[in-house]
Amino acid sequence: MKQRQILHVDVNNAFLSWTAVEKLKEGYEIDIREIPAVIGGDEERRSGIVLAKSMKAKACGVVTGETLYQARKKCNNLQVYPSSYKIYKKYSNELYNLLLEYTDKIERFSIDECFLDMTDYLPNGTLLDKAKEINKRAKEELGFTVNVGVAHNKLLAKMASDFEKPNKVHTLYENEIPQKIWNLPVGELFMLGRKTVPKLYSMGIKTIGDLAKFDEQILIKKFGKHGKLIWEYANGIDDSEVHFEPETPKSIGNSITLPTDIRGKEKIAEIVLALTEQVTFRIRKYDLLANVVSVQLRTKDFKDYSHQRKLSSSSNSTREIYNTAKEILNEMYKGEFIRLVGVRTDDLCDKNQKQLSLFDDTNSKKQEKIDKSIDLLKNKYGYNAVTRGTVMNVEDIVKAKRKE
DNA sequence: TCTGGGGTCCTAGGACCC
DNA sequence: TCTGGGGTCCTAGGACCC
């Protein structure tokens, strides 16, 4: 098989860089990339965490995910800017359109990361040349910097783009693996998170190289499929394809941290209704049906639990899914103070695949019509144009968070 | 003024059937 | 009377990613 030519493009400090570019365009005099700054959640809504940081904030020891309170303690002149999904979407699309000039085999791995399969798109010039060109053009034409990883599979390209930042191009070919990644702490490996790293440490595995040379069978015995995966990754093995065709989602959900903890089934049910409306609106937009509904709760002391239920027949009806969600809630809720409520639909399938149920009665037809006409209005006048009278107050809480 | 929100995939155990 | 396994479906929860 032909050797694959893969790039991974990763926007440096994406949320912060994009905010900086947007602000400069608006005439803001400071480039927030040049000062100790972070993009943060909203502390009043109890989501005050660091989402992205500038290099100067990083130099103070600020890390992504920590509370703004902690970040300020490390960096007393820290500037905090709010997050805006709309801006991110705009610049993400600009980058994507630039990358389309190089190949149409692009996988949008997240809002700020893409994989490019360049295997059949190098008539003149090398993969490394293209990487350098993309790196240069992003900065010059779009105003923000990217790291580009150059390799023969996705895993190595991704590891490569994570080397020195910002605004760099790095290669990670098979013969460079021992020299470039085997000395790194094992936690740097993609798919090795905070739970597994201590376990590996206790087995004497401290670096990626230690993991690569460890007995694969023992890892499989201890960690199952994940053990096989991380051993292969440590050795640079990855056959996965660049998934350039947009896939339909397998699950769709929304959750919200409440402004204050609440208690009582009825109050929580109102939140569940508002969330269900959001979720079913999104499912219908994709022409999907849900087969499984789940409800997630987080108690005030951060204990998460969730229950789920399979529907007797697939549905995207707000009423049907809400009824199920409410049943689940009634079963699982034990009367604690609740901090976060979530509703998720899983096992989504295409609307056209649905076989007509015997129970497709006039009532559910009526519900479908109601949903359809509400969606029409929401699409025309904005999501918040139409609100159920009963959930007005809750809608205020939930809609304040909506991204679009 | 402590700790987001959106996803994917995997595992373990119980129910149920043959 | 005593006591099989294999397979599938369902649910709860966990690990990981950005």
Nucleotide with minimal C1' distance from the CA of A196 is C15
- For residue A169, give the H/E element and its range: strand A169-171
**A126: how many CB neighbours lie within 10 A of its CB?**
12
CATH tag for A181-234 (out of 3.40.50.150, 1.10.760.10, 1.10.150.20, 3.40.50.300): 1.10.150.20
Nucleotide with minimal C1' distance from the CA of A41 is B4
> Using the CB atom, is residue A109 less than 7 Å from strand C?
yes
Residues A363-396 pLDDT 10s: 777 878 888 887 887 777 778 766 665 555 666 6
Architecture of domain A252-403: 2-Layer Sandwich (3.30)
CATH class of domain segment(s) A1-173: alpha beta
pLDDT at residue A403, as a whole number: 44
Stretches in chain A below the pLDDT threshold 50: 403-404
A227-231, long-range: CB < 8 A, 24+ apart: A229/A191, A230/A189, A230/A191, A230/A192, A230/A196
Distance A273 CA to C1 C1' (A): 55
> Using the CB atom, is residue A113 less than 7 Å from strand C?
yes
Residues A138-155 pLDDT 10s: 999 999 999 999 999 999
Nucleotides of C under 7 A from a protein CB: 10-18
Domain positions in chain A: 1-173, 181-234, 252-403
Mark whether A241 is an active-site residue.
no
What six digits make up the tokens of A268? 């929580």
pLDDT at residue A400, as a whole number: 57
> Using the CB atom, is residue A222 less than 7 Å from strand C?
no
Distance A366 CA to C5 C1' (A): 49
Write the burial class of residue A355 (CB in 10 Å: 0-12 exposed, 13-18 middle, 19+ buried): exposed
Residues with Cβ within 8 Å of A319's Cβ and at least 6 positions away in sequence, in order, are A367, A370
Cis omega (within 30 of 0) on the bond before A178?
A: no
Q: Which one of the listed residues A107, A113, A270, A395 is annotated catalytic? A: A113
> Using the CB atom, is residue A292 less than 7 Å from strand C?
yes
Distance A334 CA to C14 C1' (A): 22
Nucleotide with minimal C1' distance from the CA of A199 is C15
What is the helix, strand, coil percentage profile of chain A, to 5?
Answer: 45, 20, 35
pLDDT at residue A401, as a whole number: 58
Global pTM value: 0.93
Residues with CB under 7 A from strand B: A 41, 43, 45-49, 51, 65, 67-69, 72, 224-226, 249-257, 282, 301-302, 340, 342, 344, 401
How far is the C-alpha of A350 from the C-alpha of A40, rounded, in Å?
Answer: 37
Q: How far from A53 is each of A58, A144, A167, A231, A241, CA to CA, in Å?
A: 6, 14, 16, 32, 32
Domains A1-173 and A181-234 share a fold: no
Would you say A166 and A13 are in contact if contact means Cβ atoms under 8 Å apart?
Answer: yes
Nucleotide with minimal C1' distance from the CA of A226 is B10
